[in-house]
Structure formats: structure tokens, C-alpha cells
Structure 1
Amino acid sequence: MLGAIEAGGTKFVCAVSDEQINIVDTVKFATTTPAETLQKVIAFFKRYPVTAIGIGSFGPIGVKAGQADFGHILNTPKLAWQNFDFLGVLKAQLQVPCYWTTDVNIAAYGELQAGAAQGLSNVVYLTIGTGIGAGVIVAKKFYYGLSHTEVGHVLLQQQPSDHFSGSCPYHQGCAEGLASGPAIEQRCHKKAAQIPADNPLWQLEADYLAQLCHNITLMFVPERIIFGGGVMHQKQLFPLIRKQLTAKMNHYVSLPPLDQYIVPVGLGDQAGIIGGLYLAKKLVNAE
């Protein structure tokens, strides 16, 4: 059997499947302390004869094998988790091979294998929710340099009419600081789901997300940008983002039809878990 862990900052999701990625069981629980949370993870997987586990974690995390911080959660705002050896603790208890990467990367991989990126090789998956993050896949492999990307923290041009100071404690005017779920809530004093579709806020949100797509397009030239996360349940954003990206790009590069280039996640909230299961299968098959 195969296992997957989607380790989010607010909740964990664990699942097991057969070799054909048919999910057999799933469990969800709140992210609390490392000791309490990992105890629940380990108890779940000890019920099943898993042969490998694909893990996607909130971050930032150490992703370079051979380095001292590999498998650790690094400078996260969740203080109890800072410098925690997630992978080391898990492997010591379960004694199975584990594929370790970011939560957005496993969602990107799920989309590549079974969702909106099937048949492609170069894609970016963006999640717009509690935070903003990106899983970047180049030639069907995760893109790493010194570490994993932190696309949610690129700086954007703030609209003159927007006097919000930004919700990110590190960079205020970055994408996450201006366009994440908490940024919307702090700016409008309402959650995204409570704001009417015709509210001018969505034009502003689309501007910031179009800026992000503009930067991603020029840096990574992906074949497709896939949006997931709670904020993107507001489907009115998609045509607004496409329209604003067209204006910002100003014919500089040739793009596919934008309804094929800027698309919603194909697997919904299952993208991360399905991606983790496919990564576990990759380990088993030694691909």
C-alpha cells in the first residue's frame, strides 16, 4: 500500500491507497504541536502495510538531500515547529521510504499526474489561501535551486487606491501580504466567501494575481498556471485575472488561449494527497 501526508499549517491530511491510487482510508486533524500531531500520523500509518509515503509539508523546509537541514521545517511562523526534524522522526518510527517536498509541490505533482496538467511537462501550481505558494515543475521535475521557490513572497506593485499595509510580517507588500486569504479578511473585515462577486475588491485581487502570473510567466515560461486554494473558490476571479494578464503582458510573449493557460485545479482539495500517493509510487518503482 502507498501513503501520503499533506502537512498544512492548520491541518494534516493522511491517506493510504492501493498501487493504482485508489484511496482506501483518509484521516484529517488539526496541526498542533509536533509531538501531538506526529503521534496521530504515526498511529494512522501503523494500521496499514505501507511500502512508501509521499510527504508535502508547509514550510519553509529543507529540501536538499545531504544537507543538515534536509527533512526539517525551518523558519516557520509556527514557533513550535521551527527547526523540527519532521522527516527524521517519521522515518525512525515507521521505517519506510519517504518522499519529502513542499505541500504545494505535491499538489502540483497530483495535477501533473491526474489533474489539469496531464500531458504537460512544465507547469506552475499556485495556491491562494491562508498563504500563497507555488509548486514549480520543469521537465516533469520539481524546480530547486538553493532551496524550493518562495513565489508567494515576490514583491508586487501596490495599487495607489489600496492603502492596506499588508499581512505578511516579513515583506508587507509581497503577493502573500496583499492577496492571501488573511490579507483579504484584514482589508475588508470579511472572509473571501462573504464578499459579493461584484465587489470591487475582486478587481484589486485579480490585479495582484495577474501581476504574479506575469512574473511567473516571464521567469518560468510554464505551459500552464493552475490555481487552487480557498480564495480561488471565487470563480469570478478567473476571467478577471486573464483579462488583466493580457493587458499587463501587452503582446510581449505569445501565450496559449488564456482559458487554457490560467485554469482552476483539476483535482480540487484532493490534489495534494493524490500527488503524495503518486510520489510514494515513484519511490516504490524506483523511478
Structure 2
Amino acid sequence: MLGAIEAGGTKFVCAVGDEKGMIVERIQIPTIGPNETLQEVSTFFQKFKVDAIGIGSFGPIDVNKKSPTYGYITSTPKTAWRDFPFTKTIKEIFPVPIGFNTDVNAAALGEAKLGAAIGLDSCLYITVGTGIGAGALVQGRLLQGLSHPEMGHTYVRRHPKDLFAGSCPYHKDCLEGLASGPSIEKRWGQSGRTLSERSEVWELEGYYIAQALMQYILILSPKKIILGGGVMKQKHVFPYIYQHLTELVNGYVELPELTNYIVSPQLGDDAGITGALLLAYEALQQN
């Protein structure tokens, strides 16, 4: 049996299941401090005999296996978790193989193997919610270099009528600072869930997301783009993304039919936890 942890900034999802994405049992835990949160994680997994655990974590994290801080959450804005030895702590409780990557890379893996990008060796998964992050599968492997991708912090051109300063504590008006869930709420004074009928909100959101997608397409040329996260549950933003992306690309590269190319997660909210099960399976195979 495989264990999976989808560690988000707001909540942890823990599950046990198999490499086919079949989930036997799961729980959801609020993300508090490491001690309180991982005590509940430990209590859940102690009910099962797990052979490996996969972790898809919020970041930034250290994914370089040669680094002395491999498996750490590093410079996160969540101060209680900063420089926290995540994999080491889990392995001390459960001495089994541990797979570790970002939550969005885990979601990209889940969608590639069992979801919207099944059969493809390349895809991009982007979550637009409390933050914005992206994971990429390139030639069948999760993209990793000096570190993991941080595509949510790329810069986009500000809309001429947008006077909002941006909400990112590091960069102000990067993509996350202008298009994340908190930035929508700060700009408009209301949660995005209450703004469904206001087209100007979603036209502006589509404007920023399309700019980022153009950069990702030109750099990575993914075969499928999957847009998840709470903000993307507002499905009326997709037509604005298609419209602005078409205008931006301007025929320079030939794109597939956008309604089939840029899609919602086929696994829905289970993309990340499914990917974490697959990370556990990979760790078990490599052990």
C-alpha cells in the first residue's frame, strides 16, 4: 500500500492507495505548524502498513538530492515551515522510501499518467489559487534544474487600466501578485467566488494568465496545458484566456484547438494526491 501527502499552504490531504490512483482512504487536515500538522498526519498513516510515501509539497522546496537540505521546505512565506526538514521528519516516523516534489509537479505527474494528458510525454499543470505555481513534464520526466520551476512568479505586462499594486510579498506585480486568489480579493474588495457575474474581473484574469501561458508555450512547447486551483473553477475565465492568447501569439506558432489544448484537470481536485501516490510508487521502484 502506498501513502500520499499533498501538503498545501491551507490544508494537507493524506491518502493511502495504489499506483493506479485508487484511493482507499483519505483525510484533510488544516495546515497549522509542523508539529501539530504532522502529528495528525502520523496518526492517520499509523493505521496502515505503507510501503512508501509520496509528498507533493508547497514551496519553495529543495529537490536536489545531492544538497544537504534536500527534502526541506525552504524560503516559504509560512514562517513556521521555513527551513523545515520535511522528508527527514516523515522518514523518522515511517522508515520507508519517500518521494518528494512540489505539489504542482505532483499534480502534473498525476494528470500525465492518469488524467487529461494521459499518453503524452509532455504537459504543463498550473494551479491558480491562494498562490500560482506550475509543474511540467518534459520528455516524460518532471522538469528540474537548479531547483523546481517557479513559473507563478514570472512578470507579465500590467493592463493599462489596472492600478492594483500587486500582492506578492517578494515581487509585487508578478503573475501571482496580479492574478492569484488573494490578489483578486484585494483588488476588487470581494472574494472571487462572489464576483462570478462581473465580466471585467475575469477578462482581466484571462489577460494575465494568457500572457503567462504564451511565455510557457514559447519556452516549453507543452503538448497539453491543464489549469487547476480554486480560481480556475470559475469556468467563464477560459474563453478570455483563449481570446487573449490567440491575440498574443498572433499566428507566430501554430496552436492546437485551444478548447482541447488548455483544459481543466481531468482528475479534478485529486490531481495532486494522485500524483503523490505516483511519487511514492516511483520511490518504491527506485529503492
Report TM bin, short chain. Answer: over 0.9
How far apart, CA to CA, are the structure 2 residues paired with 1:10 and 1:51?
27
Aligned to 1:2: 2
User: What is the deviation of 1:40?
Assistant: 1.1
Q: Which one is further off, 204-213 or 274-283?
A: 274-283
Q: Distance in 1 between matches of 2:182 and 2:42?
A: 31
Give me the whole-angstrom Cα distance separating, in 2, the residues matched to 1:80 and 1:196. 34
Give the conservation status (yes or no) of the 8 Å contact 2:108–2:271: yes
1:50 maps to which residue? Answer: 50
Distance 1:279 1:83 in 2: 22
Write the distance in 1 (CA, Å) between the matches of 2:117 and 2:20: 19
Secondary structure of the 2:84 match is coil
Q: 8 Å contact 2:125–2:226 — kept in the other structure?
A: yes
> What amino acid does structure 1 have at the position aligned with 2:125?
Y
What is the RMSD computed on CA atoms of the aligned residues? 1.2
Shift of 1:282: 2.3
Q: How many residues are treated as equivalent by the alignment? A: 287
**Which residue matches 2:241?**
241
Amino acid across the alignment from 1:68: P
Report what 1:229 is aligned to. Answer: 229
Tell me, yes or no, if structure 1 residue 134 matches structure 2 residue 138: no
Q: CA deviation at 1:124?
A: 0.6
Residue type of the alignment partner of 2:61:
I
Secondary structure of residue in 2 paired with 1:200? helix
Displacement after TM superposition at 1:285 (Å): 3.2
Shift of 1:199: 2.4
Q: Which residue of 2 aligns with 1:218?
A: 218
Answer whether contact 2:134 2:149 (CA < 8 A) is retained: yes
Give matches, 1:85-124, under 5 Å: 85-124=85-124
Partner of 2:204: 204
Q: Deviations over 1:241-286 (max 9, x none)?
A: 0111000001111111111211111111111111111221223333
Could you say what secondary structure the match of 2:199 adopts? coil
Partner of 1:285, secondary structure, is helix
Check the 8 A contact 2:196/2:234 in 1, yes or no: no
Q: Which residue of 1 aligns with 2:81?
A: 81
1:22-54 CA deviation, whole Å, 9 max, x = no partner?
211101111111111111111211110100111
SS at structure 2 position matched to 1:204: helix
The 1-side partners of 2:77 and 2:281 are apart by 32
Q: Does 1:63 align with 2:45?
A: no
Q: Is the 8 A contact 2:20 2:114 kept in 1?
A: no
Counterpart of 1:28 in structure 2 is 28
Distance 2:19 2:57 in 1: 23
Q: Report the identity percentage.
A: 50
Q: Structure 2: how far apart are the matches of 1:237 and 1:167?
A: 20
**Deviation, structure 1 residue 9:** 0.6
User: 1-side partners of 2:160 and 2:169: how far apart?
Assistant: 21
Counterpart amino acid of residue 91 in structure 2: K
User: 2:42 and 2:82 mapped to 1: Cα distance?
Assistant: 20
Q: Which amino acid aligns with 2:113?
A: Q
- Structure 2 CA distance for partners of 1:49 and 1:209, relative to 1, 3 Å: same
Q: Which residue of 2 aligns with 1:179?
A: 179
In the TM superposition, residue 18 of structure 1 has moved relative to its aligned partner by: 3.9
93 and 196 in structure 1: CA distance in 2 versus 1, 3 angstrom threshold: closer
Per-residue deviation at 1:19?
A: 5.2
Distance 2:18 2:141 in 1: 24
Distance 1:82 1:43 in 2: 23
CA distance in 2, matches of 1:237, 1:110: 24
CA distance in 1, matches of 2:266, 2:189: 30
Q: Please tell me whether the aligned partners of residues 197 and 234 of structure 1 are also in contact (alpha carbons under 8 angstroms).
A: no
Unaligned runs of 5+ in 1: none
Distance 2:90 2:121 in 1: 31
Q: Give 5+ residue unaligned stretches, structure 2.
A: none
> Equivalent residue of 2:209, what SS?
helix
